[in-house]
Chains A and B, each alone.
Chain A
Amino acid sequence: MSSAEPGNNSEAIRDLIAEAAAEWYVLHREGALSPAQSQEFLRWLRASPQHVREYLAISAIGADLGAALHRVQTPTDALVADALAQDAVVTLPNRRRDTMSAAARRRPQQGTLRPAAIAAAAVVLIGSAAVMLWSLPRDDSISTRRGEQRTQELADGTIVRLNSDTELAVDFGPAARRVDVRRGQAMFEVAKDRARPFSVHVGNATIEDIGTVFDVSTTAADTMVTVIEGRVAIWNRDAREHAAGATSAGAQPLADLGVGEQALIAASGKVDRVAGANLGKATAWTRQEIMFDHDSIASVAAEFNRYNRLQVRIDDASIARIPISGVLRAYDVHAFADFLNGLPNVHATIDAHEVRVQRH
């Protein structure tokens, strides 16, 4: 699956974000926000680092406006006359916008997110580690049902957030902390403890870190690791265990990821590294949102199916591949069906059991 092409679309998205930031900024200058508006604003800021960046930049411009504008000598009458004349010259603002876009186009584009591949077959991945003697006597697995999310603090202070339909096995000993992701998606905010390294095992990969925040999302086909804070190293499980046993300096991790980086680990063990990941998108699930940016209809449908009993079924392979962009509430399958019905040649019908997507 190829990553989205940077181009006019990403520029249009930047324009939209700048406008949203300006709208929030103007709203704040008008007076008090209601508590609901304040929370909505916070939600918007939390959606993406890009939102934070634009809001700070617009605020800085706003703070300079008064002083800068006093240098513009044009009298108010002339400004008004120009503005009223604008109605007659429809092409002017458009042309101006194009000039600005061309200037922006010269800038290097930010990295884009590689959509997760779709699960092709159900394969159960079970870690091969033996049950350790000092395991806690109680059941050490944590799981969520479909449609359920949960945040839990582990014995060491690590906070783990489980997405819908997820199962983890926790195994903390005196010398190491280990979590196996059996299925689903989880975000880890790891408590520092140098004496007991923290590792996450998924499929044939081992993810190691030293006090950081990262997200692991696994399907039968592959695993996506996103680093939100700090650094992690991804190892082939066998190579790591071998390296730990002997003093082999030659062993290398498959990938070493920093903030904002992502790795897609295929079942084959091949690792694709992505810089400049969209963290707002990677963490959308924590806000019960599904964010898609040039992702295939099939991969977005798989996301909805992770949350809802009402499953989306796509009958036409050519429709499954169509790239779409947007943000929807994760539990609102009907909104997704409406979205699909808005696309040309796509027809989605809903009954008691499923959403069927066909060619019109």
Chain B
Amino acid sequence: MSGGGTALWTQLFADHHASLSGYFRRRIADRSDAEDLAQEVYLRLLRSDAGTRSDIRNPEAYLYTVAANLAREHAAARSRSPVTVEDIDCVADSVADERLGEEAIEREHRYRLLVEAIDRLPPKNRAVLLMQHRDELSYREIAEHLQVSTHMVKKHVVKALALCRRAIAAIE
């Protein structure tokens, strides 16, 4: 697989991101949903062991695809149950509008939580994350700025991501 392939998978995740992030939003309201999703994805991964291991050549892409499909299935099952057939025609447009609004609000909420978590990071982790993702500097450029090795830069990025994740998990 080439570097271009990786970009492709990154795009794939970006495509799936809307349906996945719905889960992380609902997680606040209904924790069990996100638990179910991870659990189900996990079970599919286990089951894929029935064939040969090499049949999953790109496990990350496989993971995103399985997760996004399950998230969509759950969302479909959810919206099916409470809405009656008669409701659908007259409210379809307003629901679509509402969804868009809801998505924007949810995205705003996510960004705010993330910015708060980044503000609380140790300075090095914070600097590295911003330089990489906002200023789009390479590991080598960041390493020069901070007078550390590129290996160390990578460690700071990993730590920063993990700390953000834990901070957001603690709030939710």
Q: Which residues of A contact B (CB under 8 A)?
A: 14-15, 18-19, 21-23, 25-26, 28-29, 31-33, 35, 38-39, 41-42, 45-46, 48-50, 52-72, 74, 76, 79-80, 82-86, 92-93, 96-97, 99-100, 103-104, 106-107, 159, 189, 213, 228-229, 259-260, 279, 283, 286
Contacts and interface: CB of A to CB of B under 8 A. Distances in A.
Given A55-B63, A57-B165, A68-B114, A84 B147 contact: yes
A29 B129 CA distance: 14
Contacts of B67: 56
B3 to A, nearest CB: 5
B3 A18 contact: no
A275 to B, nearest CB: 12
Contacts of A62: 161
B59 A69 contact: no
Contacts of B56: 38, 42
Given A28-B60, A82-B123, A228-B43, 13 more contacts: A29-B6, A42-B45, A54-B165, A58-B161, A62-B161, A64-B111, A65-B114, A68-B118, A80-B146, A85-B123, A86-B122, A100-B120, A279-B42
Interface of B is mostly: helix
Nearest to B119: A72
Interface residues of B, number: 75
Interface stretch (B13-21, B75-83, B94-102): B13-21
Interface string B144-155: 011100000010
B53 A42 contact: yes
Contacts of B43: 213, 228-229
B24 A67 contact: no
14 contacts: A15-B166, A19-B159, A29-B10, A31-B3, A49-B41, A58-B161, A58-B162, A62-B161, A68-B114, A69-B133, A82-B127, A83-B127, A96-B120, A96-B122
Nearest to B145: A80
Given A32-B2, A56-B41, A22 B131 contact: no
A56 B63 contact: yes
B6 A86 contact: no
B163 A100 contact: yes
A18 B162 contact: yes
Interface in B107-126: 110-111, 114-115, 118-126
